[in-house]
Amino acid sequence: MAPPKAGLLVAPAAPARTALLGVLLLVQVSSASGTSDVVLAYNITWKSIDFKTILEWEPKPVNYVYSVEISPKWGDWKKKCFQIKKTECDLTDEMKNVRETYFVRILSEKPVKSDGDPEESLHANAPNFTPYLDTNLGQPKIKDFEQNGTKLKVTVQNSITSFRHNGTFQTLRQIFHEDLNYTLHYWKASSTGKKSVKTKTNEFLVDVDKEESYCFNVQAVIPSRRSKQKSPESAIHCTSQEKSVFKNLFFIVGAVLFVIIILIIILSVTLYKCSKGRANKEVKENTPLNTA
């Protein structure tokens, strides 16, 4: 069934004047309803990155506590954070379907007494939350890269999220599949002109100029979203073709030296044999003939 409608609905305030008027009104309502000193939550916001989802709000409670309840679109309310003094609640584990829309409300109430039930509470509604659409994408990381001649290969690390399926934490790729794209921004280390390419996988293979060093970063993108499409850009990495040139030069010089050494050895052996041959010839010529 659909979750029951909240008794009092408070959306996150935008301008300071609106927030102040809202708080004053809520205090008056609280006093009139017999729950004096109890203030409804306001400035309710979601903090969610890669499906790690925390609800935050104001103000700090004085002489009262908060409880948080969550419900899927067609389900019952479940209490997650009960009688807390904090102004945040981690709801990650309660969102078991990333495509489901969840309703959440924050109850302001007097603490439970030992001799009875808590007094009647007031509640404020949080904005509805759909993890698949509303969680922010975290900063991606580059797993490895290689520049070989005119080819630059970059592999993006498969990010692990806070969403679990059958007890196993899922990767972004497992959740979004081909909905998850990556953009590679790359440029010559000696220039500021950037080029960009996209892929639906975690790998890039782009054409570059030989013996030129390149710098690059990557960015995750969900094109199907209306908002929160892009992640922050990753840290910048650079190739170093100077090392590659030096390495190639080292092998070339080594090969040349090897050939020279072989030629010297062959020439030495040849000269030695020629010298020995001449010496033997001179000995034979200077040896007197035997007479009978």
Identity of the amino acid at 84: I
Residue 229, both tokens:
């499409």
Question: Minimum mean pLDDT among 129-133, 157-161, 235-239, 278-282: which range?
Answer: 278-282
Give the pLDDT confidence of 251-291 residue by residue, as tens digits.
Answer: 677 778 888 888 888 888 888 777 776 666 665 566 655 54
Which has the higher per-residue pLDDT, 115 or 2?
115
Mean pLDDT of the chain: 83
The domain 16-134: what is its CATH number? 2.60.40.10
Q: Where are the domains of the chain?
A: 16-134, 142-244
Specify which residues 184 forms β-bridges with. Answer: 197, 218
- What letters, b where the CB count within 10 A reaches 16 and e where it falls short, cover 210-247? eeebbbbbbbbbbeeeeeeeebeebeeeebebeebeee
A 10 A CB-CB count for 27 gives 15
Mean pLDDT of 35-61: 93
Mean pLDDT of 1-6: 42
Tokens of 52: 């790690």
Judge if 16-134 and 142-244 fold alike in CATH terms: yes
Contact criterion met (CB below 8 Å) for 201 and 230: no
Q: What are the Cα distances from residue 130, in Å, to 18, 20, 101, 109, 278? A: 27, 29, 4, 27, 98
- 125 in Cβ contact with 6 (< 8 Å): yes
In percent, how much of the chain has pLDDT > 90? 62
Distance CA 71, CA 50 (A): 21
**For the chain, what is the largest distance between any 2 Cα atoms, rounded to a whole number of angstroms?**
153
Yes or no: say if 155 and 249 are a contact pair by the CB < 8 Å rule: no
At residue 98, φ and ψ (nearest 5 deg) are -65, -20
Helix (H, G, I), strand (E, B) or coil at 119: coil
Contact between 93 and 70 (Cβ < 8 Å): no
CA 105 to chain CA centroid, Å, is: 30
Choosing among 3.30.530.20, 2.40.110.10, 3.40.50.300, 2.60.40.10, the CATH entry for 142-244 is: 2.60.40.10
Evaluate if residue 2 carries a pLDDT over 80: no
Task: List the structure tokens of 54.
Answer: 């925390």
**Hey, is 251 helix, strand or coil?**
helix
* Chain segment 202-229, per-residue pLDDT in tens: 999 999 999 899 999 999 999 999 999 9
pLDDT > 70 in the chain, percent: 76
Nearest alpha carbon to residue 103 among 125, 134, 131: 125
